[in-house]
Structure formats: structure tokens, C-alpha cells
Structure 1
Amino acid sequence: MRSVTRTAALVTGAVAMLVAPVVAMRAWSDPADPRISVGAAPPATLVPGDVHDPAGRMIAGAVWTGLTAHDGRGGTPVDAAAESITSPDRRVWTVRLRPGGRFHDGSLVTARSFVDAWRATLREGWHGARLFTDVARVKGAGGRDDDVDGLKVRDERTFEVTLDRPLAGFPALLADPAFLPMPDAVLRSRDWASYGRAPVGNGPFRVRSHDARETVLEPRDGRGRTVVVRAMPDAAAQYRAVQAGDLDVATAVPPDRHGSMDTDFRRHHLVVPGRAMTYLVIPEWEKRFAGPTVRHALSMAVDRRAVTEGPLGHQASPANALVPPGIALGRREGQCRVCVHDGAAASAALADAGGLDGPVPIWYEAGAGDDAWVKAVADQWRSTLKLDARPRAVPAAELREAIADRKVDGPFVLHSAADYPAPAAALAALPHPGGDASDLIEQAERAAAPDESVVPARLAESSLLRDMPAIPLWYGHDHLVWSERTRGVTADAFAGLALARLTVTD
């Protein structure tokens, strides 16, 4: 970098080696420099079908153009690489690509670029595979070979997707990185490791370089600013760097700075409502938890605000519904009346239900970062309801097996994130053993249009809140703070920070 070289020439030896990185960071914040710097945790991978973390999703949104894109408001998707996505029955979908789409290496984006990338995701068992098998339920997607009955290429720009059952939210689901295309060269070579180090996409930015320290993205058309995503997993370091002028955008805020964001950054901060929520699921096979009154009592005894502002460090907000606020379509605030902390009402409700005898274990995954808040909830239940509440951390595989075998004898933690912006996507992930809720969720998924899914989803939510098979606790949210020179900072719950929209003042 020229600015670093000029500065280093003024000093000598070890002093130059020490100051050069700091000078480089400041150069990125110099209005005369064309780069924009963003701090984030390092992405786990940049192979599209395996992308699953916030940093990976953020970078993928700049490097690739999917069939659809989120509108930035958690609502209806818009066509992007797709010219049209149509279906007569919401089960068989015909996708027609826009003409002329090309990857950064100049190769043409075709129907096979998508279909063969999807087959690779299924064959390799990448993170996105479950969206094909469990969410979209593409016909024949359960195997580990390239023969998927529900994926048919019709011509260079057209392919057909057949699902096992109707899903109105399928076009919205297609905005997920799991459904991105890959060039024919990498699909033939199957050299995923090399591709992950130097991915070739079809979006507004190309990857100039990518390593453990940073990812450098440059506009594919040569116009605009280069974006440098620096690997900075520590929220406090990001925050201080923006304050010092060494970083343009921080994608995390430390707990102790949550209350001072407005003072520190005035109008240059943003809280992005999330798509993920945390629940306590009540095991339906445990008869002592069978009555909804017992479950309502457990919910009212949880002081959600005390937990989110304490052990969770302001990185989550108390839940007042079953649907996370990152979903704008049809979501209603304040649907969960028994999510309001009321110790006296909780004690009275539990007494009316005949009490709850014996130990009440709270099962959760060991090593998942839940220890502090689970202990806090157990303490609240002991204090308010006089229960023998006991945190029980077990390895992930053991927990899954215990749930499957119905050996879990108390509430267990469920972290769930909606896969596309519709209430049905959030509710479908919750336990709803038969009854009205199941029928209503299925009706919402089969709706002729996204707007038509709202009413049955709301009715399903009301039904689930009455029976409360899962107690909503809180939803995650993201924080952004940025420098005075930065403009165009926008984000949503599904794609994260929109790197392609960032600009800086000269």
C-alpha cells in the first residue's frame, strides 16, 4: 500500500515494523483512500452451499447474486438473477434466468450453474443441505448422489423444481446462500478447498484476496469502493477501531458500550432485529408438564429483561411473540401475554395447576454458550416458584438422542432461526404435535401468495401460545456502528450488512 510505504520510509527498523499496521488501518479511513473497512468475525467458509455464519452470509451477499434477494425489510423477496419464478400449485416451480448473467471469470450463468451447485450441496452434505431436504423438501433430495428427481434442467436458462408438498415461501427461501450458483469449472473439478480460498461468484463484487486476516472485495465493474472485511471477532476491538478512525463499520458492539452507542456515534448506529429466537421446549411426554397452566406459570416466572441485560449482555431482546421481529410480514408485537414477568401470577397459576413436584432439569447443549443464562432462569424458578430447578448440560449428540428417545424429563433449550421471512417459517420449526396449529401452519405454507399466509399463521401462533409447547424467551439482534465518513449502511435479519450499498464521503 502506497500510504504505508511512504510512512515507513520516514522511520527505521523495528519502529517501522510496529507502526505500519496502524498506519495501514488509518489509511483505510482516509477520505482520499478508495477502500471501506468493515470489522467482523472471520467467515467459516465461502463455499456457497456451506455458508452458515453471519460474516459468510454478509460476504456472500456481495460476491453472488442469487435467484431472489431480500428487500431489506424482512418482507417479500424480489427477483434478482431470476427473470421469473412461477408455479401453478406452489409445488412445481419453474425458474427462468435473466439473460446474459456471467460469473467473474467470464463464464455464463446457466440453469446448470444453479442445479449442479444444489446437487453438490446435497452430495457433500454441506450446511445448506437441510434447506433442500427439511424445509423446501425437494423431491428425491434425501440421497447423497447427483440423481435428484425434483431438479430438472429444461434449457440453458430454465429449470424446474418439484417439492414434496406446496410451499408458498419457496421464492423467499431461494435468497439463502445455499441456493447460489457456482461456475462449471469448479463443479467439474470438485476442488472445494481451492474454491473456498478464491471463490468466483456472479455478484456486484469479486474477491481480490481472502485469507485468515481479511477478505478484499472489489467492484466487478471497476466503479465504486473496494471493501475490506477485516477478521476482528472481538466486539470491543471493533468498537474502539471505529472510534479511533481505524475502521469504517463495526458489526458488533460489546455489552458495556450498549448504553453509550448514541452518545459515542450519534446517528451512526443501528440495531438490526434478528431472525433467531431461543425457546424452552416442554417435553410433551412428561405428564407433569401437560397442563398449559403449568407452562404459563413457568413462562411468567422468567424475568426476560434481567437475563438479556445481564448474562446475555444486551445481545438479545425479550420475546413477546413466537415470531422473531426480523420477519416484517404479518408479525404482531405483544402476542405472548404470559411472556411478561409476573412472579405473583406465576406462583398463583402453578398453585392452581396443583404444583410441580420433583426436580425440574433444564436440558441444554454443553459448550454452546448457554450456561450463564440457563443458570439464571433456574435461579428465577427456584426463587419465584420454589422449584428444584437444575441446569443439565449434555453433549449435543447426547441431547439429540435423548430428545428423540423421549428421555428428556424437563424443558430443553431450542435455538431456532427462520429460514425465510414469513411467520410460517418460524412456527414450522417449533413443536406442534398435531391439532389446529399443525393444520394452520400447513395452510400458511400452502397459501397462494405470501400475504395470504398471514392469517393462518397468526391463528397458528395464537393456538401455540394457548398450549405453549415451547416458551419463547428472547430473540437475537445485531448491532452496527460506523464512522462519520460512511454512508449507505443498511442491513436486515437474513442477509446482514449490505456491503454493496456502502459508500464514503470524499
Structure 2
Amino acid sequence: MLVAPLAVMTALREPDDPRLSVGAAPPATLVPGDIRDATGRMIAGAVWTGLVTYDPRTGSPVPAAAESITSGGDRTVWTVRLRPGGRFHDGTPVTARSFTDAWTAVVREGWHGARTISEVARIKGASDKSSVEGLKVSDDRTFEVTLDRPLNGFPALLGDPAFLPMPESVLRSRDWSSYGRRPIGNGPYRISAHGPRETVLERPNARTIVVKAIPKPADQYAAVEVNRLDVATAVPAERHETMDSEFRNRHLTLPGRTMTHLAFPSWEKRFTPAVRQALSLAIDRTAITEGSLGDQATPANSLVPPGVLPGRREGQCRLCIYDPRAATAALTDAGGLNGTLNIWHEPSDAAWVETIAEQLRKNLTIDVQPRPLPTADLRKALDEREVDGPFVVHSIAPYPAPVAALRPLLEAGTGYQDDYVSDLIDQAESATTPENGVTPARLAESTLLRDMTAMPLWSPHDHFVWSERLHPITATPFTGLSLSRLALKN
């Protein structure tokens, strides 16, 4: 059994500590509109109540701070009505301006959530750094949001931390650094202490929750094994095979909402659909997810990540099935591939890119060379069309709908243009309901998989294990672990 370092173990709770403890990597920030990692989203889900949350069984949005979110039928103008009586932890009321002014601040400050507001939601005027034209307050409980184009998934998008409210005092002072050290939310838990080693969350008539900064999955896992920690939010690769026997019904694999692809530049004409299909068949995705990725990802069988529900279909990517003989035949039928195949990627992806390169060299007898570049340099090379081979794309579905996973592929820098696919994705976003948008999204997915302009590889997932004293945990791909639902067994 692995034993965590003494310094880590002694920082955790004593066996009789009545508090609930969770191990996680430290959050980059707790300023809601700037939250960018899993720990930040997890804490935000307990400290703030957003307009919507997500049903852990279906993934569908459920009203939270919002009493209603409605559109007159065009899915472009949305009216948000708040529940009465909402208050921040400092006692001040949660009003319509708590949301609209917070969203404006996110855009003005250029925080992580700014892209979600301006490029995903496309709120009218969100590119303006001083005001957002598409936000209009009607009264203390009602505001109107105007988008640049129809989006039936707008209510589902509002569960993202980019859309959380902030109190008037903070919005007026703009003292973001102080606010980040002791955020004031409107959710079930308030932060009583926040530092580099732990964040303490308190709630009346409930047990205190301590989120411990434990970056290494092995330390988290070992601490739960010896009852020094209640929940580990990560499992080390070397314990994946023994996780079931060691924790039995006390572990959870949470499907993800992100996907890793190899995308192809449209200006390189040698990468015909037939060549791209052959390359996909020559890649053993399972060998990589179980090898260099350490069982932390699920091999792709669709363009839509497994955590994106409802509307996702399993097994849509038949060309994602490893078949080296079929790959060789397909490449021969396509006329072969002349010259070196460069795979462009960020340095952090080097290990698995080299594995793919080795597989393609072996299975297709072609020259393959990884081409690592820092993120900014890779983007510049794409903009200037200097990229001459497939490049790595990590896409994310911003809300739970199939079309939310497909839209980013049209904006991945490939230069891919297909009026049929673009029209289908527009139809999926502007349909009268998200359910009515599923069929055009599926048709678009089928065409994208046939063209293989972005080859799906795998979808990262999360692992959790918990102590014997806890009830089973609840988690969703869009919020992570639900801290407010942690409970001791009777």
C-alpha cells in the first residue's frame, strides 16, 4: 500500500475530526468569472447558486436562482426572472444587477469566462469592454438578454461559473484580489477561510467541509485508504486496476465533457478524407489511454464526449476502431501519402503524440515527426497557414447538448468549410427546443465523422474514491463533485 508523505498526512484530519474533508489540486482562483479548473468549479458549486444547475441523472439544466428563463420563440431574446428572497452571505440582496453587472465585469476584465459570454453565448455587444448592450434590467428580479443569434441551449449554458452573480459592494470597489481571498457567494455554503493549504466551507446545521490542497493523486488516494481524508478527487494511474477491489462500491468514474482530436488543415490537399480515415484506423486509442495517459481517458467512439447528455449516441465513429490491416488497404486505395507527416502539438502532449507517431510509422510505413510548439506559436502558425499536418485540438462542450460539442470543431482553425454541416449546426442551435435540435446535430456529426476533418481520439474522465463513513457521492461532468450533497452515513 502506498503511504503519503508525513507532511501531507499530518496536514489532514484526525480520525475523530467531525469535519468532512476533500482532497484536490489547489484552485487557480475563486473569483467566479475567472474560474478555470475543476477545483474552482467544485467549490463554486457550493458557495454560489447560479441561475441553473444540472440534474445528475440526465444532465439537463434545472432552475436554481432563476424562477424562469424564457424566450418569446426566437431563442435570441431571453427573459430571466429570479426567485424572490435571494441573498449573499453578507446579507445584501441578490438582484438582477448582481448578474448583469457581474457578467459585464467578466467581459471588461478579460477573465476566463469572457469567451463563454462573448463567443459561446454571443450576448450582443459583449466584445465591448465597458458595457454589454445585450443586457437590460427590467426590475430587481428581472433582466433581458439579447444574443447575436438564436441559441436554444442558452438556459443550459447559464450553469457555467462565468454567469455567477457578485455583490454590489465588490462590483463597485473592483477589489478583485481581496474578493478572491474571501469570496462572498449566495449558495448553501460560505467560505470561512481560504489559503494555499485549504479552503473551509461552513453552513448552518451542517458539517464543515475542508477542501485540502493535495496536488498529487497518490497522496489523496493513500489518505482516503487510511481514513485521513473523506474524498479523493483523483486516482493515480498505478492504482486504477486495484481501485475496484480496494474501494468496491466507494469509487466513481465520471465521464468528461472534453475531447482530444487530431485536426487537419484544409489547405493541405494531400490529406483527403480517405487518407484521414486511414490514419484514424491505424491509431490504437485504447493502448494509449491505458498506457501513456494512465487510464485517465476514455477512447472516443463519437465526436460528442461521454459526459454530454442528453442526445449523445454511442458508437458513431466506426473509423475510431483500431484496424491496421484496413488502414493499410485504405491508404493504398487513397494513393498513399507522400512526404513527412508532421504532427503539431503543445509540449504537454509530447508523450502520447510520440506514441501515435510510432503507431503510424509501424502500421502504415510512413515518416511521422512530432512538431512541438508553445500554444501562442502554434496558434500563430495556424493563422499563417504554416501548419502542414494534423494538429492537436482539445475541445470542450460548454453546455450539455450534442451541438455544443460540435460547434467548436468548426472554430478549431482547420479552415474546414461545409455549408451543409454549418447549416445543420445552426439548425440545432436555433430549433424550438434543445430536444428538437438533436436530429440536425446528429446529421452534422455523421458528416464530420465521414470527412474526418477532426479525428476524435479520447475524452478525459475523472475518478473519485471516498471513505467508509460517507454516503455515495454525487458528481456531474459540468460541475464536478457536489460538495453540498456530501453526507455521513447514519
Give the alignment's TM-score, normalised by structure 2: 0.96
Structure 1 runs, 4 residues or longer, greater than 6 Å off:
18-21
8 Å Cα contact 2:13-2:21 kept in structure 1: no
Q: Give runs of aligned pairs for residues 59-458 of structure 1, distance below 5 A.
A: 59-73=43-57, 75-88=59-72, 89-145=74-130, 147-219=131-203, 222-289=204-271, 291-366=272-347, 369-431=348-410, 432-458=416-442
By how many angstroms is 1:76 displaced?
Answer: 1.7
Alignment partner of 1:487: what SS? Answer: coil
Could you tell me which amino acid in structure 1 is paired with residue 366 of structure 2? L
Q: Any idea what the Cα deviations from partners look like across 1:140-183, whole Å, max 9, x if unmatched? A: 111211x2110111111110100000001000000000000000
Task: Give the letter aligned to residue 379 of structure 1.
Answer: E
Would the aligned equivalents of 2:250 and 2:472 in 1 still touch at CA under 8 Å?
A: no
Q: 2:474 aligns with which of 487, 490, 496?
A: 490
Output one character per residue of 1:362-386: Cα deviation in whole Å (capped at 9) or x when no partner. 00112xx211000000011101111
The answer (yes or no) to whether the contact 1:140–1:148 under 8 Å persists in 2 is yes
Deviates more, 1:348-357 or 1:433-442: 433-442
Deviation at 1:453, TM superposition (A): 1.0
Q: Is the 8 A contact 2:342 2:389 kept in 1?
A: yes
* C-alpha displacement of 1:212: 0.3
Residue 460 of structure 2, aligned match among 476, 486, 495 = 476
How many residues align? The count is: 480
- Percent identity over the alignment is 64
- Of the structure 1 ranges 485-494 and 185-194, higher mean CA displacement relative to structure 2 is found in 485-494
Structure-2 change in CA distance of 1:82 and 1:391 (3 Å): same
The answer to whether the Cα contact below 8 Å between 1:37 and 1:230 also exists between their aligned partners in 2 is: yes
Distance 1:344 1:23 in 2: 55
- 1:463 maps to 447
Q: Displacement of 1:21 after TM fit?
A: 7.9
What is the root-mean-square deviation in Å for CA atoms of aligned residues?
1.3
CA distance in 1 between counterparts of 2:417 and 2:30 reads: 37
- Residue deviations 1:330-376, cap 9 Å, x none? 1011000010000000010000000001011000112xx21100000
Mapped to 2, the partners of 1:183 and 1:371 lie a distance apart of 44
Shift of 1:20: 10
Query: 1:450: how far off?
Result: 1.3
Contact 1:75 1:422 in 2 (8 A): no
Instruction: Specify the alignment match of 1:6 in structure 2.
Output: none
Q: For 2:114, give the aligned amino acid.
A: A
SS at match of 1:201: coil
Which amino acid in structure 1 is aligned with residue 262 of structure 2?
L
Give the AA of the match of 1:25. Answer: L
Q: 1:22/1:412 Cα in 2 relative to 1: closer, same or farther (>3 Å)?
A: closer
> Counterparts of 1:21 and 1:363 in 2: how far apart (Å)?
38
Contact 1:101 1:108 in 2 (8 A): yes
1:503 pairs, out of 482, 487, 490, with: 487
CA distance, structure 2, for counterparts of residue 270 and residue 22 of structure 1: 23
Tell me, in whole angstroms, the C-alpha distance in 1 between the residues paired with 2:12 and 2:196: 17
Q: Is the 8 A contact 1:485 1:505 kept in 2?
A: yes
